[in-house]
Structure 1
């Protein structure tokens, strides 16, 4: 029977970030951390036109700076210098600019594989022990923590188990942790697109009566597309030829980046707001998409999860209580509760407001975009939300 202090179930970006955030404390206290991941991480980074990417907020950059990881991530991070927010067919528009906020960039778009590569390279195998490829097939509470049964027949005991195994966490369901789920009636088409003109670090949020879309700057003058449509229409767009798809995308997005020349592999994801009804139990934390899955258009999901991760690491490092102490874990949740409520609420309201075709609401959002340029305090609040700084000071 293997015994560890902390078992992180899921070695993706959230789980690996938690391991890194706790690495120094673990080294000082003699903790053993197990990182359990079903997919073997590649030893070498392989660039790909179709690589999935994440928009890291400026606040997330600050977290990775504290973890001494930003210098590595920045090598392939495309800065967002300006966000152009507009409403199709109406005059309302606003521009958020990094220079006006006094920051080098409002955020950064980075390929997930590169972030993962940087994280995995930074983990010390003497402190963080990989169990990979491996999955937890079952887990049950024991007197001082949890016993995890792995699919290779082995098992390990831990004082604290962290579920970071994604929005469709089977273990969350197995443990009887209920979720609230609010379908948006939309699906997101995710793909990389190459425009004719240089994007110059511009990100575009464009709102239409059929649903919002975002075009985010990537290296190599590519753009990461997030296009939300109703389920049936999204399926239709997925089945179009590349040329026909680009024609419809061009019509919806316009010519702010000139002609759209190439689109890569398209991926389709049904969208819903999913929140776990419990995020902590004695000896257990639910983290990342397993705790809350947000609509991707506002770009808040991973950044919120990273702030949760940093807060959890700080609470565990600052406390002298047993690693799975329930009162300590509740302190973590109380600390993050306001941030979670504000971020989930902001993301949900923006999604609903900018997905409606109702004339009065559409007119209201148009006036709201005009008003942001006329009311600097409101514009700064909106920018701080976009930068992941809504409840924190710069």
Structure 2
């Protein structure tokens, strides 16, 4: 095999890219991995202690994702600031349909967790600094072309341009991936004609580690427990679906009016809304790529599929895909084959495809079913929600989807990862 600068280049050092780099370091340590990230990385920037911010953005991790982070030796540190979800309440506003999931019914400590993105990133960076992973930051992958060694990757860092050779390029630069478009991957976009407003809120009643998924005539909204991992508090992470016009109106309101409008839409299950933090928002759409692999290159994470946040499945689906890819790279290394071998990448896609198809269908169908205001459809979905409580088998399947244990998840068979503090 001809010499290359590195074996795997990961374009993007966000949550997906950093997790992939750590998994490769744990499972296939012989592979040389280089992460190219637009933001600077410095060990000096990692604080000795983490102080959560009220306005921190967060991610919902399913129980299956906890198992993945345990395998990577990261969970003991992550769990220091991971708020457990012990109950999930799903309801249809103004109608009788509802279902409830409780962790103790499935003999689990939690159905999932809510973790600040910044804390997750800091944990990943600390772990990666203990590996042989190489970083090019701040820098970006500007282009890629096939070469004798696998791929030839153009990396730009300020005014400097460098050509790096690698056996495989992994594109993990997010849902707005410019590199995906530049390399000609065909992305399918379906707009929901809605926006997600993201904020943290405080309520007069404690969340009691409960997550609420509330479907309304204006779209779904979710409240996830946020804050202390051991003491049930009053702060929740809000995902509020709004039309363009509604979003414009809500953003123009003072905070007291935002809380009142939210109260009208959500109800009183958590008492009165007393505070809403900084509001961020983005348009909602379903993005998929039918063929996310080519010889020497693969899309992962949101670059490969971006979902509606209604069921909190996006990052959890990405994690399962990353582990499937890592397992194929491990097998390739054992066989003396380059990770960019198209058969290796195609096998990864074949294994991951049923999971993302099932997850996309699950998330998208919730939006379509609960988006109908017609009385017969509304009655049918309410009966369906009630039926979940009455039919243990159906409820168990629903719970497996919520917990991220229904899809295929690769088992790491590489060297045991030590769960370092």
TM-score above 0.5: yes
Residue of 106, 111, 114 corresponding to 2:111: 106
Partner SS state of residue 89, structure 1: coil
- Whether the aligned pair in 2 keeps the contact of 1:93 and 1:370 (CA below 8 Å) is yes
Residue of 67, 74, 77 corresponding to 2:72: 67
Greater CA deviation, 143-152 or 287-296?
Answer: 143-152
Q: Distance in 2 between matches of 1:85 and 1:363?
A: 15
Q: CA deviation at 1:279?
A: 1.1
Q: Distance in 1 between matches of 2:362 and 2:74?
A: 28
1:98-177 residue pairs with structure 2 within 5 A?
98-124=103-129, 127-152=132-157, 153-177=161-185
Partner SS state of residue 174, structure 2: coil
1:353-364 residue pairs with structure 2 within 5 A?
353-364=369-380
What's 1:349 paired with? 365
2:62 matches 1:57:
yes
Residue of 70, 84, 88 corresponding to 2:89: 84
Partner SS state of residue 109, structure 1: strand
Partner SS state of residue 219, structure 1: coil
- Whether the aligned pair in 2 keeps the contact of 1:7 and 1:158 (CA below 8 Å) is yes
Q: CA deviation at 1:2?
A: 7.8
Q: CA deviation at 1:79?
A: 0.3
Q: Distance in 2 between matches of 1:25 and 1:224?
A: 34
Q: Distance in 2 between matches of 1:138 and 1:300?
A: 30
Moved over 4 A (4+): none
What's 2:321 paired with? 308
- Whether the aligned pair in 2 keeps the contact of 1:161 and 1:284 (CA below 8 Å) is yes
The change in CA–CA distance for 1:20 and 1:367 in structure 2 (over 3 A counts) is same
What's 2:303 paired with? 290
Q: TM-score, normalised by structure 1?
A: 0.96
- Whether the aligned pair in 2 keeps the contact of 1:211 and 1:356 (CA below 8 Å) is no
Greater CA deviation, 384-393 or 183-192?
Answer: 384-393
2:101 matches 1:96:
yes
Q: CA deviation at 1:21?
A: 0.7
1:186-197 residue pairs with structure 2 within 5 A?
186-197=194-205
Deviations 1:341-370 (A, max 9, x none): 111100110122122222222221111111
What's 2:209 paired with? 201
1:321-360 residue pairs with structure 2 within 5 A?
321-360=337-376
- Whether the aligned pair in 2 keeps the contact of 1:22 and 1:313 (CA below 8 Å) is yes
Q: Distance in 1 between matches of 2:311 and 2:254?
A: 28
1:192-341 residue pairs with structure 2 within 5 A?
192-220=200-228, 221=233, 222-319=235-332, 320=335, 321-341=337-357
What's 2:8 paired with? 6
Q: Distance in 2 between matches of 1:108 and 1:227?
A: 19
The change in CA–CA distance for 1:26 and 1:390 in structure 2 (over 3 A counts) is closer
> RMSD of the TM alignment (CA)?
1.6
2:26 matches 1:18:
no
What's 2:385 paired with? 369
Deviations 1:322-352 (A, max 9, x none): 1210001111111111111111100110122
Partner SS state of residue 206, structure 2: coil
